[in-house]
Structure 1
Amino acid sequence: MTTVKQSSESGAPDKLRRVPTDPEDRAPKPRALIVTVYGLYAREAGGWMSVASLIQLLAQCGVDEPSVRSSIFRLKRRGLLTAAKVGGVAGYELSDTAREILDEGDRRIFERRRASADEGWLMVVFSVPESERDKRHQLRSRLSWLGFGTVSAGVWIAPAHLLDETRETLARQGLQGYVELFRADHAGFAATADRVRDWWDLDRLHELYDAFLAQHGPVLAGYRRRRRIDGARAFADYVSALTDWRRLPYLEPGLPLDVLPPDWIGIRAADTFFELRRRLAGPAHDYVESLRAAA
């Protein structure tokens, strides 16, 4: 599967993008919703989904057919989807690249990993020749996507538990030749919590979490009052919540709580998402299966 820039079509988010203020701007975009649907339901069925099924499912999320078709075309152009027919039915399947990104994203999105202060930090130090500025931009984009904070132009930092994920991502992108990775402790001079505010924009992160809670907190409150859950509604609400959520674990990569502000809002946002997942994932899956069976 942001993000992941939920990739983002893929679960990978643009680093601290503008926080939407208009309610319509907070609605997940069609391409991101399509990636979420493929990540949740197409992978378990071989990675393929018919165009007709996708149009029917996205209609539950308020996306019309022209928008679905346009978004599919863009995802195909980006190499995430490939046209394929199954039993004479037109559809699209995930590319190998898309599968890798979604599989990798599962670990970040669905695991509530939170670093502790004694685990230390992962430092990335890189130098890219001026003649390869495109590689420098690509490297910075990858590190932003992974959730690194910026110490200086060529020194980036993240919790140490991101080591394996960082190594795999940079190697897959062919960027490992420009980078050195180090395990480190922060030894001063300022308090680590103060430095974290310099390395990550915690105020913007707070706004992003707050926007998620404003959008999906009332949805969860509604489900807590219901005894019966409509499958189509559960599908739409779960896909929307996951599409909004998946970029956030990339932007805030499980920073230690003792370097974050008290009562960090990210904990409440995570609680909201994972309770929605617990309540809605099953009914949503049953709804998709019922459509497949009727096709």
Structure 2
Amino acid sequence: MISRKGDALTTQTKPFDMNGFLFSRPEQANISCKSFVVTIFGDVISQHGDEVWLGDLIGALEPLGFSERLIRTSVFRLVKDNWLAVTKNGRKSFYQFTPSAHKHYTKAARRIYAATTQHSDGNWLIVLPSFVDEEELPSFKRQLRWLGFSQLASGAYAHPSIDKGSLEETISELELTDSVVVFESKTIDDESTNVLKSLVQQRWQLELLDQDYAEFNQTYQPLIELVAEKQLNDHQAFLLRGLLIHEYRRVLLKDHELPQNMLPDDWQGYLATKIAKKLYAQLARASARYITSQLQNQSGFLPAAAKSFSQRFK
């Protein structure tokens, strides 16, 4: 907008409407209330005493356009799905991750809050669920996808990393140690590497993933300067942090964490990790003030974050 002051023309930039962004973003990005509640428990509650009063959770999330009824329904469904457990204290209900949900999210968090998604050692983990029962196979495949594995060929799932910890935990938890074959491998020459690159680009839809990262970057990169100028309050910082990590997680968990030599030029995932890391650090202090002064568990306001919080994106 242009206005006249004396004989000079001045350009006025309309202030960014943070409340409008927060309210409209879940609908624009097709974020369900149920999935966002899982993000809040994983990103926030797990780091601040593991438990929160439902009334405070409702008040915290309503500015996103989630009604009280929708939040209650989402929480009840998560209890039914064995993601959340409830404890009654008088007329108040307090919620926390179930042990299985906590383990599940902890493994995902190793990817979400990693300092980098690049792997360049050339080693691949290959999983063959050769003797997994048909009833158990869908659940195992879902767990593999959460860990970053993708189907390379019929019955074979691959991940370009030598980190076996989360995979071993998953196989043990599902009691499949006698049903799954796991081995490490690497291509033997450049020609095989090029064929493998063509195979994964075709099967794993890297172009669509790159577009998802690009959309994330376009949405959140401009907010870095806004947050640096402290143009938001503590509650807004809390909500923006939730949206940031939810959308970053949603794209990242579809990523295959390929080495650089197998990715397209100008891979948008690199920039996405930098944006998430920078903006998350900017929002940490203000969001923590909101968490510890507005959200309660059975003992009072939530405690300060666990030591593990300081290691995120490090």
- Does the TM-score normalized on the shorter chain lie above 0.5? yes
Q: 1:284 maps to what in 2?
A: 287
Distance 1:87 1:45 in 2: 22
**Residue type of the alignment partner of 1:277:** Y
1:65 aligns with 2:86: no
> Among 209, 215, 218, which residue is 2:219 paired with?
215
Q: Cα RMSD between the aligned structures? A: 2.4
Q: Distance in 2 between matches of 1:103 and 1:280?
A: 21
Partner of 2:151: 150
SS of residue paired to 1:118:
coil
Letter in 1 for 2:216: F
Q: Report the Cα distance in structure 2 between the residues aligned to 1:136 and 1:89, rounded to whole angstroms.
A: 39
Question: Is 1:275 aligned with 2:278?
Answer: yes
Does residue 256 of structure 1 match 2:259?
yes
Alignment of 1:1-295 (within 5 A): 24-86=27-89, 89-128=92-131, 132-187=133-188, 188-189=191-192, 191=194, 192-224=196-228, 226-292=229-295
* 3-state SS of 1:178 partner: coil
SS state at 1:160 partner: coil
User: In structure 2, how many angstroms separate the alpha carbons of the residues matched to 1:198 and 1:175?
Assistant: 30
Structure 1 position 171, deviation (Å): 1.9
| 1:119-172 Cα deviation digits (max 9, x unpaired) | 41111122247xx42223223222222222222111111112342211211221
- Partner of 2:164, secondary structure, is helix
**Could you tell me how far apart the structure 2 residues matched to 1:46 and 1:157 are?**
36
Cα deviation for residue 278 of structure 1 reads: 0.9
Q: Deviations over 1:56-103 (max 9, x none)?
A: 111132211011001001100011111103476322222111221222
Q: Distance in 2 between matches of 1:114 and 1:34?
A: 25
TM (norm. structure 2) is: 0.78
Q: Is the 8 A contact 1:149 1:199 kept in 2?
A: no
Q: Is the 8 A contact 1:115 1:159 kept in 2?
A: no
Q: Which moved more, 1:189-198 or 1:158-167?
A: 189-198
Supply the AA of the counterpart residue of 2:234. Answer: G
Unpaired runs of 5+ residues, structure 2, are 1-24, 302-314
Larger radius of gyration: 2
Q: Distance in 1 between the 2:138 and 2:116 partners?
A: 28
Q: Return the offset for 1:117.
A: 3.2
User: What is the rounded CA distance, in whole Å, between the counterparts of 2:295 and 2:117 in structure 1?
Assistant: 38
Give the deviation of 1:228 after TM superposition. 4.7
Letter matched to residue 195 of structure 1? L
2:306 is aligned to none
Q: Which has the higher helix share?
A: 1
Contact 1:51–1:90, Cα closer than 8 Å, also in 2: yes
User: Hey, which bits of structure 1, 4+ residues long, moved more than 4 A?
Assistant: none
Determine the C-alpha separation between the residues in 1 that align with 2:103 and 2:140: 19
Secondary structure (helix, strand or coil) at the match of 2:111 reads helix
Give CA-to-partner distance per residue, 1:222-249, whole Å, 9 cap, x none.
Answer: 324x245411111111101111111333
TM-aligned CA deviation for residue 27 of structure 1:
4.2
What does the per-residue CA deviation read over 1:19-43, in whole Å, with 9 as the maximum and x for residues that have no partner?
xxx9834142211221222223322
